[in-house]
């Protein structure tokens, strides 16, 4: 177990380094090939040549790419001071870069926005697990029934709807039509009820999409498992039906669901870009989208790193939980 | 595959596919039902899947004929009709977003462009990116998946690690990032065609591991089968075994994953355009129409509903058809 954990952590660390290099590659090498001056995009289109030169010097953009990557990593642990063009800016550890365009360090941006995204992802996950999984199980047990067909039609429609469209429809019905909610994001420390009211629609909209996916997967997995020999054995030895389903079948059904949950949660925590855009929530996804539109590379780099980290951690947790749920999996 | 349980049925698929390869290579005398035949007969009974297939077909035809249809109606996707706009609010005059005999689905707020024409032209972008990116993913995934499964060893380890890595990547983020850093002129293309080209490549690139994994797994189990061994003992070379013995048996899973991938890719394209990193205005695309409709969902809900429903119908049709194809080609499914 310990050896497995160490190996997985090592693999995750390698993956993270690879991701940083890929991100550097995307944002530093592609523009170079295309003949675009990167320093320009760090400062802004109307910047004067002296400022551009200063940024070039501060970031060491003339240095080879591996040196730049190394400086970036060092900054995360030791902080970093950007010197050049006659002044210097200090960025305290953990320094995930400094946005010269918006004149702020990246780390505070990340910590400001992370809670919003986390709350969105976790709240929705609770909803979609409850509704999606139970709808899927019921459908599998009552296969071919009116309930099954109805639920599956809704689920198929759910996965075919773009989330931002569902969001816009929800906003126009519940906020502008019925005036049930405010439709505005309110920070949690300002007012709990305001925050909750602002989060309900994003939660439900996001959960609807994922519940649809989970219901489909749950149903398919459950049907396959109900055909397995050990279920027949369990029934043959006279176990009550709800024990057969609840204990024996559910346990195997949970394994693929857990894999999905790990990947989905990881990806969402890293920024539910579409949901945050549709509902105007100040989370990581919105931050990175704005950064991409402004060509604010340091922020993109920071968010991408955090996102990748979230995906890696989620996958790691899932793999460990596997061993707990499924006795057939042995970690070695 | 969860092996021994399903052995008899799993065995049935490859032999049926072998017949298919024989049948298509011209030996018409061979009687018996090919995999394609069996699948088609199952698909014919699946009303929902057929409906989906027909809708897909209609969409493709309509997209191809977009210039003809809009020409017949006397509309142009980029022509302004400011006379149909209420100068005070910027929204279309008349009910339901300016719906009329001339403008079947109304006009856009502010500049009054015909929504029906823009929807038709948007369909071209959606379907083009959806199909071609799936093709890119299938080619990459099949080639690399077969290589990994067939050769094993370090080739397998390398390809599998890359697939795992790509699947763990925050994909949408990387797609957005990649599309947005691409220069405006590339390989002689410019403007929207660059974006379309880049979207096809990038979406396809992030899609291949899904197919690659399946193909690798299938290849791993197929290469140990007796018929492969038989071919080898008769002196067949590696390439012969790869293309003549293995590939025909991989057709079913590849077809299934391709049909399932197209709707996902269409949604990704719409999302990119919605986020403003897809095709550039004035080129029409559904995602972009939705993103400009955000400002009008109070005053002109029609503008938001039309592209949203267009995406919904398209993706739903592909999903219905894909589900049907999967059920028809899956020997385990007895539905």
Amino acid B26: pLDDT: 47
Angstrom distance (rounded) from CA A36 to CA A29: 10
Closest chain A residue by Cα to residue B315: A160
In 3D, which of B136, B133, B123, B132 has the Cα closest to residue B55?
B123
Q: What is the nearest CA distance from B229 to chain A, expressed in angstroms?
A: 31
SS3 B46: coil
Check if the beta carbon of residue A168 is closer than 8 Å to that of residue B308.
Answer: yes
As a whole number, the mean pLDDT across chain B is 79
Neighbours of B117 (CB within 10 A): 26
Q: What is the nearest CA distance from A16 to chain B, expressed in angstroms?
A: 10
Amino acid B22: pLDDT: 45
Q: Residues A285, A286, A287, A288: what is their CA dihedral angle, to the nearest 10 degrees?
A: 50
**A chain contacts of residue B170, beta-carbon cutoff 8 Å:** 267, 270-271, 304, 307-308, 311
Angstrom distance (rounded) from CA B143 to CA B149: 10
Q: Residues B126, B130, B131, B133: what is their CA dihedral angle, to the nearest 10 degrees?
A: 130
Summarised one tens digit per residue, pLDDT across range B127-136 is 999 999 999 9
Of B177, B183, B319, the CB nearest to A292: B177
Angstrom distance (rounded) from CA A104 to CA B191: 33
Give A308's contacts (C-beta < 8 A, 6+ positions apart): A15, A16, A19, A270, B168, B169, B170
Summarised one tens digit per residue, pLDDT across range B1-46 is 333 433 333 334 444 444 444 444 444 555 666 767 777 888 788 7
Helix (H) or strand (E) holding B31: none
Indicate if the pLDDT at residue B333 is higher than 50. no
Q: What is the nearest CA distance from A61 to chain B, expressed in angstroms?
A: 17
Indicate if the pLDDT at residue B168 is higher than 90. no
**B chain contacts of residue A22, beta-carbon cutoff 8 Å:** 174
Query: If you count residue pairs, one on A and one on B, with CB atoms under 8 Å apart, how many are there?
Result: 122
Q: Does the CB of B167 have a partner CB in chain A at under 8 Å?
A: yes
ipTM of this predicted structure = 0.80
Amino acid B13: pLDDT: 44
Helix (H) or strand (E) holding B331: none
Q: What is the nearest CA distance from B294 to chain A, expressed in angstroms?
A: 7
Angstrom distance (rounded) from CA B250 to CA B215: 7
Q: Does the CB of B168 have a partner CB in chain A at under 8 Å?
A: yes
Amino acid A299: pLDDT: 83
pTM: 0.82
**Range B315-332 average pLDDT:** 82
Check if the beta carbon of residue B192 is closer than 8 Å to that of residue B279.
Answer: yes
A145: which DSSP letter?
S
SS3 B190: strand
Q: Rg for chain B (alpha carbons), in Å?
A: 24
Summarised one tens digit per residue, pLDDT across range A42-54 is 665 556 777 777 7
Better-predicted residue by pLDDT, A76 or A209: A209
**A chain contacts of residue B169, beta-carbon cutoff 8 Å:** 19, 308, 311
| Interchain contact, B169 vs A165, CB within 8 Å | no
- Most A CBs within 10 A among B177, B213, B270, B286, hence the mutation to make, goes to B177
Q: What is the nearest CA distance from B239 to chain A, expressed in angstroms?
A: 34
Summarised one tens digit per residue, pLDDT across range B205-259 is 988 998 898 888 888 888 888 888 888 888 888 888 888 888 888 888 888 888 8
**A chain contacts of residue B275, beta-carbon cutoff 8 Å:** 273-274, 277, 289
| Interchain contact, A168 vs B293, CB within 8 Å | yes
Give A206's contacts (C-beta < 8 A, 6+ positions apart): A120, A121, A124, A128, A163, A268, A272, A275
Neighbours of B154 (CB within 10 A): 8
Q: Which percentage of chain A shows pLDDT scores above 70? A: 88
| Interchain contact, B276 vs A30, CB within 8 Å | no
Indicate if the pLDDT at residue B61 is higher than 80. yes
| Interchain contact, B177 vs A267, CB within 8 Å | no
- Of A251-255, B154-158, B289-293, which gets the smallest average pLDDT? A251-255
């Amino acid at each position: 177990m310990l050896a497995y954990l160490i190996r997985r952590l090592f693999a995750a660390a390698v993956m993270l380094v690879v991701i940083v290099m890929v991100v550097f590659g995307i944002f530093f090498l592609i523009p170079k090939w295309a003949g675009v001056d990167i320093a320009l995009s760090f400062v802004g289109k109307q910047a004067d040549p002296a400022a551009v030169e200063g940024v070039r010097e501060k970031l060491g953009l003339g240095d080879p790419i591996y040196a730049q990557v190394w400086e970036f990593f060092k900054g995360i642990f030791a902080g970093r001071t950007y010197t050049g063009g006659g002044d210097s800016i200090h960025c305290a550890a953990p320094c995930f870069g400094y946005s010269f365009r918006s004149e702020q360090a990246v780390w505070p941006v990340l910590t400001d926005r992370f809670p919003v995204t986390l709350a969105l992802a976790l709240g929705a996950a609770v909803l979609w697990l409850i509704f999606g999984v139970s709808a899927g199980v019921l459908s599998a047990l009552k296969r071919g029934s009116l309930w099954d067909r109805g639920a599956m039609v809704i689920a198929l429609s759910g996965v075919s709807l773009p989330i931002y469209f569902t969001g816009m429809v929800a906003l126009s019905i519940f906020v502008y039509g019925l005036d049930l909610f405010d439709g505005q994001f309110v920070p949690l420390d300002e007012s709990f009820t305001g925050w909750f009211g602002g989060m309900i629609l994003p939660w439900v909209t996001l959960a609807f999409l994922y519940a649809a996916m989970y219901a489909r997967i749950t149903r398919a997995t459950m049907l396959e498992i109900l055909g397995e020999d050990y279920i027949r054995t369990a029934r043959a030895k006279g176990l009550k039906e709800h024990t057969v389903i609840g204990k024996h079948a559910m346990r195997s059904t949970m394994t693929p669901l857990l894999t999905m949950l790990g990947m989905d949660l990881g990806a969402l925590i890293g920024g539910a870009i579409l949901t945050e855009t549709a509902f105007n929530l100040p989370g990581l996804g919105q931050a990175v989208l704005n950064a991409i539109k402004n060509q604010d590379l340091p922020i993109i780099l920071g968010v991408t790193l955090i996102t990748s980290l979230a995906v890696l951690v989620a996958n790691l947790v899932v793999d460990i939980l596997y061993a707990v749920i499924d006795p057939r999996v042995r970690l070695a | 595959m969860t092996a021994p349980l399903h052995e008899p049925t799993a065995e049935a698929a490859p032999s049926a596919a072998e017949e298919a390869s024989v049948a298509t290579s011209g030996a018409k005398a061979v009687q018996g039902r090919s995999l394609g035949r069996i699948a088609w007969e199952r698909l014919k009974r699946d009303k929902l899947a057929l409906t989906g297939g027909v809708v897909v077909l209609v969409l493709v035809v309509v997209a191809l004929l977009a210039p003809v249809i809009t020409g017949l109606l006397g509309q142009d996707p980029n022509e302004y009709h400011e006379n149909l706009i209420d100068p005070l609010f910027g929204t279309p005059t008349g009910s339901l977003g300016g719906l009329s005999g001339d403008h079947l689905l109304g006009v856009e707020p502010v500049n009054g462009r015909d929504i029906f024409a823009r929807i038709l032209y948007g369909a071209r972008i959606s379907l083009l990116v959806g199909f071609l990116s799936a093709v890119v993913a299938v080619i990459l995934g099949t080639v690399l998946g077969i290589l990994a499964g067939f050769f094993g060893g370090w080739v397998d380890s390398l390809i599998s690690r890359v697939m795992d890595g790509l699947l763990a990547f925050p994909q949408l983020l990387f797609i957005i990032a990649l599309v947005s850093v691409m220069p405006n002129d590339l390989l002689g293309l410019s403007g929207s065609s660059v974006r379309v080209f880049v979207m096809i490549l990038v979406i396809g690139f992030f899609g291949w591991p899904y197919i690659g994994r399946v193909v690798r797994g299938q290849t791993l189990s197929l290469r140990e089968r007796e018929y492969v061994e038989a071919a080898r003992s008769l002196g067949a070379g590696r390439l012969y075994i790869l293309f003549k013995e293995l590939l025909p048996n991989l057709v079913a899973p590849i077809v299934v994953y391709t049909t399932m991938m197209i709707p996902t890719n269409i949604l990704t394209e719409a999302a990119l355009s919605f986020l403003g990193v897809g095709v550039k205005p004035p080129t029409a695309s559904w995602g972009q129409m939705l993103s400009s409709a955000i400002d009008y969902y109070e005053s002109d809900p029609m503008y938001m509903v039309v592209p949203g429903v267009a995406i919904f119908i398209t993706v739903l049709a592909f999903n219905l058809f894909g589900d049907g194809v999967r059920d028809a080609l899956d020997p385990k499914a007895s539905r």
